Amino acid sequence: MPSKRHLALAAACVLALAAAGTTLVPGSAGADTTIRMTTALPVWSAPGARLKLKGRTTPETRVALWIGDRGRATTTSGRRGVFHFRLGAPWKSGRYPVAVVSEEARAGLGALRVRPLVLKAVGDVTFGDGVLTAIRANGTRYPWRSVARPLRNADLAVANLEGAVSTRGAPWPGKIYTFRGPPSALRTAARFAGIDVVSLANNHSLDYGRTAFLDTIRHARRFGLARAGGGADLRRARRPAILVRGNLRVAFLGISDVRPLGFDAGTGTPGATPAFPEYIRADVRAVRRRADVVVAYFHWGVERATRPNDRQRSLTRTALDAGAHVVLGAHPHVLQPRKQRRNRLVAWSLGNFVFAAHSPGTERTGILRVKLGARGVIEHGFRRAHIHGVQPRLLR
């Protein structure tokens, strides 16, 4: 005898199919084996993220997908009995029972967990200067001890990587400040601190020349870090990093508006992506067709300025108008305001993070927390921290 829940699902299927213009009369609700799913539910899904489910039943049979207490989609199996569902996950967070139902059978898929994707973003990270001295004395984990756990708990974590990660190269001629750190420090950032993506678009990425810069890219790849904003040539520097979590495709672009002579990527020349509006507009539009959410990480502004300038505002408008959802900034070494409007967020400057804070105000930092769904930003918050030496420590 069919269970009450089974009958309810079958009845729900009838309603869903009727709404689609098909009338079915539920029969005896046969065994689950007449509907066999060939794909499983994801462990979790971000709100509105795309679900793709595939199964097999008797040929040319009308089936409905039921999520929670709603019939979400209907389709008809083909001549070989194969059927597909492609739809967005529910927008509201929660756990939803999922089943595929026909007039004679059902297949329970279990429960779908829906929750926002959590992105955490931090500002300037270097393994040179005072940080190099600290990790030589205390180990590569030392700068991250207070912040590693909350960063690891994110679905995605992004930072601006300032300086070369290499044992080769010589300081860039004429530069006053040049940063270089060991590969072991980058491995710790990825595997202990939970950083997933680094932006290479800044005024320190080529501090030790192009060979060391290419080493940085190679080491990042070796340790599983996605890269944005820098590459072996301009085409690769402009290439987005696209990561998938909870069925949501999140794209990262790195863009530098602080450009020492020779640091720009070119045709056949390694370097960083320059902040040319035509590049920003074209790159955001292109990746928007491939991703659900676009994050543009800029290096811009004036050092120790606590408010964004007109240039930052202009570049932000370019990125948002082209389809970006999150605009992040670094370089001022101090925090600047954040602004969310509907499903878009701008954080003008995230300040220093793992960095020697020598000037007043540069020791104030934190972790930006952004909740994302398929429509963009749901909400955001900021967990404040204070840099002690080179170590960011979270405030209670």
Position 335 scores a pLDDT of 98
Q: Is the fold of 4-114 the same as that of 117-394?
A: no
CATH class of 117-394: alpha beta
Measured CA distances, 287 to 208, 227, 255 (Å) = 31, 15, 14
Measured CA distances, 199 to 1, 59, 69, 126, 335 (Å) = 60, 50, 43, 12, 18
Position 38 scores a pLDDT of 94
Domain range list for the chain: 4-114, 117-394
For the segment 75-84, what is each residue's pLDDT rounded down to a tens digit? 999 999 999 9
Dihedral Cα 351, 357, 359, 362, nearest 10 deg: 20
- State the Cα–Cα distance between residues 82 and 92, nearest whole angstrom: 30
Tell me the pairing of strands 344-347 and 338-341. antiparallel
Helix (H) or strand (E) holding 5, with range, is helix 4-19
- State the Cα–Cα distance between residues 150 and 360, nearest whole angstrom: 26
| Architecture of the domain spanning 4-114 | Sandwich (2.60)
For the segment 117-144, what is each residue's pLDDT rounded down to a tens digit? 999 999 999 999 999 999 999 999 999 9
Residues of the chain falling short of pLDDT 70: 1-33
Kindly give, in sequence order, each residue whose CB lies less than 8 Å from that of residue 83, ignoring residues fewer than 6 positions away.
54, 55, 56, 57, 61, 63, 75, 76, 77
Instruction: Provide the 8-state DSSP code for 182.
Output: -
- State the Cα–Cα distance between residues 369 and 254, nearest whole angstrom: 19
- The tokens for 356 are 């020697």
Position 6 scores a pLDDT of 44
